[in-house]
Amino acid sequence: MTDVTPTPDANGTIVARADFAYRWRVYVLSLMLIVFGLWCVRDGFFQWPDLNRRNQQIIDAGGTPTVASKSETDIRLNRWLGIVLPAIGAITLLLRMYRSRGAYVLSGNTLTVPGSPPVDLDRIESIDKTRWDRKGIAVVEFRTDDGSTRTLKLEDMIYDRAATDEIVDRLERHLAPAPTQSAPDLAGA
């Protein structure tokens, strides 16, 4: 994550792309689940049943095995982990990559967020920042063309933090009421 202030382009456009650190963590977690799952496949389907067969042959020949046999529960657990963990790793990778696709773009008076139609800033009704300080999540509520209300989320952990923070700041400034002009004092005239 970068905490560098984003520099809008000449048109004032701010782009918050997927955060590299977020994606890197996803890659590592998914890889760990897949590798550990494949290790369990090796043990549960090949190594441990073969070890138990060799130990049984040694026992049948009147000897004592040097390595203890594995229980059927151990073998079944490793088989189960060998099937489930790679699937979880692959699903985690796909879902997290889908979640961090595209970019948040604030261009002029239009906010574009992946998975949502472009939103004109004048259609935004509110920003819920109850989870902003702790989790970096802002929920933006807006009106659609047909008059219904929808929401979209801006998350500064998944997308470039500085650019996402600047987009949220601009949305807040846009929603802030304009300062009222006080009427000239006519009493002294």
Q: Is the pLDDT of residue 181 over 80?
A: no
- Where helices occur in the chain by DSSP H, the ranges are 20-41, 48-60, 72-99, 132-135, 161-175
Picking from 4-8, 20-24, 86-90, 102-106, which range would have the lowest pLDDT averaged per residue?
4-8
Question: How confident is the model over 28-56, as a mean pLDDT?
Answer: 97
Q: Is the pLDDT of residue 1 over 50?
A: no
Crossing angle of helices 20-41/72-99, nearest 10°? 160
> What pLDDT is stored for residue 176 in this prediction?
85
- Tell me the per-residue pLDDT of 8-24, one tens digit each, with 9 for 90 and over: 665 689 999 999 999 99
Give percent of the chain with pLDDT exceeding 90.
81
Task: Decide: 13 and 105 in contact? Cβ < 8 Å.
Answer: yes
Q: Is the pLDDT of residue 2 over 50?
A: no
Model's pTM, two decimal places?
A: 0.74
CA atoms within 13 A on the CB side of 156: 21
Beta-carbon contacts of 39 under 8 Å, excluding residues fewer than 6 positions away, are 82
